[in-house]
Amino acid sequence: MKNKCTQKILVFVLLTLILSSLLCACGSDIDSVVDNGYTSAEKGSGYLTEDYISDSASDSSGSSSESTSIKDTRKIIETIYYRVQTKNFDEFVSTLETQALSVGGYIEQSDVSGNAYDDISSRYATYTFRIPSDKVDDFTNTVSEKSTVTSKTINTEDVTLEYVDVQSRIKALKVEKESLEELLSSATSTTEIIEIRDMLTDVIYEIERYESQLRTFDNLVDYTSITVEIDEVEHPVVVHEQTTWQRIGTNLADNFRSLWDFLVELFVIIVSSLPYLLFIAIIVVAIIVIIKRLARKSKNKKKNNTSLPVAYYTPYNTAGESQKTTQPVDDKE
């Protein structure tokens, strides 16, 4: 009896090990197919779609047409950031807007602030354009030609795997939807019909949600986001490489220009502040006059007090009588 139990345990353990090894082998095969496809895509063929992965599992050799298909279905979200300077602010902004519309793009967001550069502060703008991916070069060339680019950043995000995963989910949900529709057509009881309809509603909702996610991916991939920050300046910076003497000349010119701008701004501030300065001057003059008058009155009063005679008595005169005399009081006493 004990031997039979032991044999059963051994058989169960062996079956468990066999099943585990089979599952690991299947998983490694699938991972190798996906990893091989992903690596080959990164080397220049593009990323793989779900259909191509299944085809690669059956035929690893592939063909040139399949390679072209992979490249076309690669899903890359590109974002470009520019920081530019221009002297002709209005003309440059108008050129960008016209160029965006001509290539089939549009303005997603815009923000303009400040005044013209000959005022106290210059203008500053931020524009975000959505440009078709195949027309990005035309638009970026316009940005570079019509302005001075001080910085440029390009960010890319590959969402091919996420895109393929969403497609797989949609395909599986559609199969489930068809099965539920067949069950609904053959259902007889009211309870079964209600339950199947509830399940079908949930499946349809999931399909629509994933399809909306695919449309979002498509929009982000098909239209590149280009953000352009525009600074209006009177003298755009020099971005090309210069010799030592050219750098010295440029720095001297910039310093003299800054000094001149400072003097001009100072003169403008002084002239524009004349009403306030005149009002302050009147108040200061009035205070000075009042102080001088008060000081004069005080001095006159003090002088009048010092000029009054002071009476005193001498002890005795020659006749033996006291004599009253007057003597002015000295100012020092």
CB contact at 8 A, 85 and 217: no
Average pLDDT over residues 114-140: 82
Domain boundaries along the sequence of the chain: 2-72, 76-159+224-232, 162-222
The answer to whether 56 touches 62, Cβ cutoff 8 Å, is: yes
* Class (C level, CATH) for 76-159+224-232: alpha beta
**DSSP H or E run through 165:** helix 160-186
What per-residue confidence (pLDDT) applies to 305?
65
User: Looking at residue 257, what is its pLDDT?
Assistant: 66
Rounded to whole angstroms, the Cα distance separating 234 from 260 reads: 13
Average pLDDT over residues 218-225: 94
Q: What is the mean pLDDT of residues 147-171?
A: 93
pTM: predicted TM-score of the whole model, two decimal places: 0.53
Task: Name the β-bridge partners of 127.
Answer: 110, 228
10 versus 88: which is more confidently predicted? 88
Q: What are phi and psi of 292, to 5 degrees?
A: -65, -40
- Asked whether the beta carbons of 77 and 222 are under 8 A apart, the reply is no
Residue appearing with tokens 């220049």: 44
**Would the pLDDT of 2 be above 70?**
no
pLDDT at 325 over 70: no
Q: Say which residue, 329 or 230, is predicted with more confidence.
A: 230
Q: Which of 68, 62, 75, 61 is nearest to 45 (CA)?
A: 68
